[in-house]
Amino acid sequence: MPLNDDDEILAAEHALGLADAGARAGSDAEFAAAVETWRERLSLWLGGDCAAPPELWGRIERALPANDDPARPWRFATVAASAVAAALLSVVVLRPGGESPAPAPQVAAAQPAYMMVASLTPKDGAGVVTVSYDARDGRMLVTPVGMDAGGKTPELWVIPADGKPRSLGVIPDKAAAMMLLAEERQAMMAGGVTLAVSLEPEGGSPTGQPTGPVVMTGTMSRV
């Protein structure tokens, strides 16, 4: 049976050392081949540094007073952030053998067709939430790695030029999630826009604005 996207993500994570899928690689020849393919693809990305620039945190703290609470630390090397982002973006853009997925229908005539990616990293400690976004149909793949929300609900925000956060929805803290953005949110997803993750009560922010600490930020980059 051909590998699906979840299999490809697991193969990429195993190639990066972020997941232990050795047992499957030893028994599934197709999966083992995918792992080797990912190792070759990622060889040019490993070792990149994608820590968020200091001035980005200053902008977030000025816009979001909820950051008064201390952020929880994560134990994960930030050197993996750019590699994971590259891997997950490649899962969306490419299939094994270099095949491109079928074009998705246009959501809005004014929206150009391109991919964007972001790595959200914490101000203190280490960790990563990778985001890959396809502007053709407004779909976004969010993948946390090494996140421990401490019983809270992580919520993803986009912060456009006016500085006011808009919720993109709650996200899991242990597994990848595919999200379809509403059209008004799609219009905000541009290169250089800030994304942030806050920790909220169960179900997400009750106010429409971050109420818990903002623990991760990053910027979208067009690819």
CA distance 129 to 142: 7
Per-block average pLDDT, block size 10, for the chain (223 residues)? 76 71 87 81 49 55 50 37 49 44 46 76 79 91 86 94 94 89 94 94 93 92 85
Query: What is the torsion angle, in degrees rounded to the nearest 10, for the CA atoms of residue 184, residue 190, residue 193 and residue 199?
Result: 50
Token match 């590699």: residue?
A: 83
Spatial contact of 16 and 80, defined as CB atoms under 8 Å apart? yes
How far is 1 from 13, CA to CA, in rounded Å? 20
> From residue 137, how far is each of 1, 4, 78, 117 by CA, in Å?
28, 20, 30, 15
Spell out where the chain has E strands.
115-122, 128-134, 139-145, 153-159, 166-170, 177-180, 194-200, 214-219, 221-222
Query: How many angstroms separate the CA atoms of 19 and 162, rounded?
Result: 39
pLDDT attached to residue 197: 94
Q: Which amino acid is at 92?
A: V
- Give me the pLDDT at residue 38, please: 75
Strand, helix or coil for residue 6: helix
Report the pLDDT value the prediction gives residue 109, as an integer from 0 to 100: 43
Nearest to 148 by CA among 75, 69, 55: 75
CA 205/CA 155 separation, integer angstroms: 8
What DSSP letter does each residue of 181-221 carry, written as one string? --HHHHTT--TT-EEEEEEESTTS-SSSS--S-EEEEEE-E
**What is the rounded distance in angstroms from the CA atom of residue 146 to the CA atom of residue 132?**
18
Which residues of 65-152 form beta strands (DSSP E)?
A: 115-122, 128-134, 139-145
What is the token pair recorded at 133? 């976004």
**Single-letter code of the amino acid located at 24:** R
- For residue 165, give both structure tokens: 């956060």
Give the tokens for residue 90.
Answer: 């490649």
